[in-house]
Amino acid sequence: MTGLRTAQRVGAAALSALLAGGVLAACSSTSNKSAKTSAGNPPAGTSAAAPTGAGSSGGAAGAIKKGLKVYFIPKDTQNPYEVLADKGGQKALQELGGSVTVSSGTQDTAAAQLPSIQAAIQAHADAIVIAANDPSALCPSLNKAAQQGIKIVAFDSDIACGTSPNHLFINQADTKQIGTSEVDLLAKQINSEGQVAILSAAASATNQNAWIKYMKEQLKQYPKMKLVSTVYGNDDPATSLTVLQGLLSAYPNLKGIISPTTVGISTAAQYLDTHKDVAKRVTLTGLGLPSQMRKYIKDGTVQSFELWNPKDLGYLAGYAAASLASGTALQSGATFGSGALKKTYTMAQGDGELSVVLGPPTVFDKSNIDQFNF
């Protein structure tokens, strides 16, 4: 995969071509706002299914329609985090008597997601659940979908479309809490001083930028910690490694790295694990999958990191989509059930949109890493 500038040029060109041509080919794969986190619970759906009723604006339960067709459009189809989230959505719709089609491209660009939106429209889907690679570039196509009666749910990485279309955001955890807690984790490990950097995903990713905003604000609480650079690995291991090596070369006194992306943190951990001299002076934390990070926690390469259960995130998004498609009002105060998560979620207005929050992130370290299998 090429560097960020090239990726942006390619993505922009492809997006322009798609919009200008008006013909979007279907591309399918079968494969950032709080309750105890479900990250410590069994993966969504492993316990007995809870009632499948959908809430309404008045809170009264209503039946979920059978045979619903929901399109899950992840950032890309190869990111392990996204794959887990999609499986959660598939489990939810299976419980509810519906089906999920997972459809997206293999690169984290809006252009790669546009064909999947068109495919959902052509398939007369009941709902679209999307992790946006760009906050606004997808809005015209999603609005067309909404005009066809398709309910729009964003999860993991939000869209910023105003009311065209109106949508529900399934937030993995409170956005501010994610950003501030990652800074606090790193500060604790490096005695609140030294040069630090951020290894992010795509420069356009809504969730990443929201978290980084709060990271920068929280860093003001640590005057001896200086943010020297933010780099973007595009959620691609090779690109993440390249920008990581660039960071280490440009800042030989770098003391800490925050990587709020599972691809970035696992790539950086692997590099540090094989370069012990660097690992002795550079501390890494961020958002990671326990299954990918267990080795690095146990051998001391990484002290701690955090995350929520991506399966639960996708599962909750699946229930939300099914509820909206079954008649639950898209308005503040409306409620819906969550199956095996065993909680009724209430939509709330915040930051100009409707959202619900899965729950706070869990911190993983040597004391608990073996308790988690996702």
47-72, pLDDT tens digit by residue? Answer: 333 333 444 433 334 699 999 999 99
Over range 82-102, report the average pLDDT: 98
Task: Please report, as a single letter, which amino acid is at residue 41.
Answer: N
Pair (79, 61) in one structural domain: yes
Over range 315-320, report the average pLDDT: 98
307 pLDDT higher than 60: yes
Pair (146, 181) in one structural domain: no
Task: Please report, as a single letter, which amino acid is at residue 310.
Answer: P
Predicted confidence at residue 312, as pLDDT, reads 97
Over range 182-188, report the average pLDDT: 98
Q: Which of 172, 122, 128 is nearest to 152 (CA)?
A: 128
Predicted confidence at residue 108, as pLDDT, reads 92
For the chain, the average pLDDT equals 86
371 pLDDT higher than 80: yes
Kindly indicate the confidence band of residue 82, based on its pLDDT and cuts at 50, 70 and 90. very high
46 pLDDT higher than 90: no
**CA separation for the pair 264, 181 (Å, rounded):** 18
Predicted confidence at residue 350, as pLDDT, reads 77
Pair (107, 162) in one structural domain: yes
- Which CA distances in Å does 295 have to 7, 267, 291? 32, 13, 8
Pair (77, 162) in one structural domain: yes
1 pLDDT higher than 60: no
Whether 372 is covered by a domain: the verdict is no
Query: Residue 268's domain spans which residues?
Result: 175-307
Q: What is the pLDDT of residues 21-42, one digit of tens each?
A: 333 333 333 333 333 333 333 3
Boundary-marking domain end, from 284, 307, 330: 307
Q: What is the DSSP string of 246-264?
A: HHHHH-TTEEEEEE-SHHH
Whether 15 is covered by a domain: the verdict is no
129 pLDDT higher than 70: yes
Over range 158-178, report the average pLDDT: 93
Predicted confidence at residue 101, as pLDDT, reads 98
Give residues with Cβ within 8 angstroms of 205, minimum separation 6: 75, 108, 133, 157
We report the CATH number of the domain holding residue 135 as: 3.40.50.2300
Pair (57, 139) in one structural domain: yes
Pair (52, 151) in one structural domain: yes
Whether 350 is covered by a domain: the verdict is yes
Whether 374 is covered by a domain: the verdict is no
Over range 165-175, report the average pLDDT: 94
Q: What is the pLDDT of residues 272-283, one digit of tens each?
A: 999 999 999 999
Query: How many domains, in total, are found in the chain?
Result: 2
Give residues with Cβ within 8 angstroms of 181, minimum separation 6: 306, 361, 363
Predicted confidence at residue 328, as pLDDT, reads 97
Find out whether 365 and 303 touch, Cβ atoms under 8 Å: yes
Q: What is the pLDDT of residues 111-128, one digit of tens each?
A: 999 999 999 999 999 999
Query: How far does CA 92 lie from the centroid of its chain?
Result: 18
246 pLDDT higher than 70: yes
Predicted confidence at residue 242, as pLDDT, reads 98
Over range 249-255, report the average pLDDT: 98
Find out whether 76 and 82 touch, Cβ atoms under 8 Å: yes
Predicted confidence at residue 321, as pLDDT, reads 98
159 pLDDT higher than 70: yes
Kindly indicate the confidence band of residue 88, based on its pLDDT and cuts at 50, 70 and 90. very high
Pair (108, 76) in one structural domain: yes
Query: How far does CA 208 lie from the centroid of its chain?
Result: 9
Over range 298-311, report the average pLDDT: 97
Predicted confidence at residue 62, as pLDDT, reads 63
Q: Write the secondary structure of 62-98 as one string of H (helix), E (strand) and C (coil).
A: ECCCCCCEEEEECCCCCCHHHHHHHHHHHHHHHHCCC
Task: Please report, as a single letter, which amino acid is at residue 195.
Answer: Q
Whether 28 is covered by a domain: the verdict is no
